[in-house]
Amino acid sequence: MQLDFNKYQGTGNDFIVIDNRNNQVQLTQDQIAHLCHRRFGIGADGLMLLNLQEGFDFEMKYYNSDGAEGSMCGNGGRCLTQFARDAGILNSHYSFIASDGTHEAIIEKTGWVKLKMSDVQSVQEQDGAFILNTGSPHYIQPVTHLNELDVFLEGQKIRYNAQFKNEGINVNFVEQQPNGSLMVRTYERGVEDETYSCGTGVTAAALSNKNAVIGFNTVSIVTKGGALTVEFEKKDHQHYQNIWLCGPATFVFKGTIAL
């Protein structure tokens, strides 16, 4: 089987993207894991299918790099929107469906892609950390000296502790910067390692930021892979809406691989 694919990345969070509008692509978990493998396949944090869906511009089907179907991926949604534009779906405003429901997306003149995330209705505080779901479940741990932290080791401890090991959780370590921005590093479940960026993770970090005010907020985020911005409206300490994840979504290369 010859499979045509595209490679995209959003602040270093990289994805294999496949146009499946003809509904002909059927991949097993092992095949997806092989394609995402950085030594024996193409290499990626995840794989996405662009599917047709009545009433929407497209459907986003997302798989983690272990081959299992994943929850919402923010950077993935931004990259898939850019791929939709590149593949000929030419709109100024996009509407698509993903695992956590309907999303809107806009490609700005600057080239950045803005993705509207799901509203958040609950933020749990636990021993100085925060737990919330921004389309995927996230654990937010404020830290200092983030650049010196072993994110793989410390993230793995939390992801596989008694509370989270069954369902898994994404673990984000967040450091407040002097200029008001946040530095975020993330251990992602499904990848089971640190990634260069996590869209739902930086969204969760922005929402739980102690400096967020009631009303409209814009938070600048620094990740290993580059800069992102999260815009949102804070209703109170539990409720957030009009959440937009903003950043670059870049085509890397395309090719054909034998399976």
Give the strand pairing for 13-19 and 46-51: parallel
> Which parts of the chain register pLDDT below 70?
none
> Is 199 within 8 Å of 10 (Cβ atoms)?
yes
* pLDDT tens digits along 145-174: 999 999 999 999 999 999 999 999 999 999
Output the pLDDT for position 92: 87
Query: Which of 181, 190, 159, 162 has its CA nearest to residue 172?
Result: 159
Q: Give the Cβ contact number of residue 174 at 10 Å.
A: 24
The residues annotated with a catalytic role in the active site are: 73, 198
Query: Which of 256, 237, 191, 228 has its CA nearest to residue 37?
Result: 191
Q: How distant, in Å, are the alpha carbons of 134, 160, 168 from that of 165?
A: 19, 4, 5
Output the pLDDT for position 113: 98
Output the pLDDT for position 162: 97
- Residue 255 forms beta bridges with which residues? 5
Give the strand pairing for 193-195 and 250-258: unpaired
The tokens of 180 are what? 């008001």
Going 182 to 73 to 63 to 21, the CA torsion angle's sign is negative
